[in-house]
Amino acid sequence: MSDQLDEQHAQVGLVLLRNYPGLGTEKVFDGVVPKQVPPLPPLPMPYVLVYTTVSWPRDGIGTALNGIQVAVTTTWNCHCVGETAESARGMAMFVRSALLNVRPVIVGRNCGPIKQMDEPNPPQRDETTGSPVMDAQATYGFISTPG
């Protein structure tokens, strides 16, 4: 039976994003953007597509003195998509405001604050959706250890 610890870590960022004013469940997607087939209305622009990774690093901070892997690193790769570069940057600002410096609470874990994990990418033109959009990408994450 699973302890659901990985999913608890993954959900932290998704819940923060979905509960942030101006985002909500209709603008934050977990790993896939739903296909909108007529007569459904088009997807609400702008939106955030989130790819989550939960890992248990094997060396350094991730390993206890007895050799057991105890730390969890969680990252959210956020693609902020809009019709223009300005709207993509606007979504990126919402994402930053929702995640940066928040200290998650997970029962039984000591969680560090959420940090920006890399330099964000400026909005890039993306035509893979069928109509041109702009995609600004940034990655946020945190580390937790047993509490």
What gap in Å lies between CA 76 and CA 49, rounded to an integer? 10
b (16+ CB within 10 A) / e for 31-59: eeeeeeeeeeeebeebbbbbebebbeeee
pLDDT over 60 (residue 1):
no
Q: Is the pLDDT of residue 38 over 80?
A: no
pLDDT digits (tens, 9 = 90+) for 127-142: 876 778 999 999 999 9
Could you tell me the domains of the chain?
Answer: 5-146 (3.30.2000.30)
Which pLDDT score is estimated for 7? 96
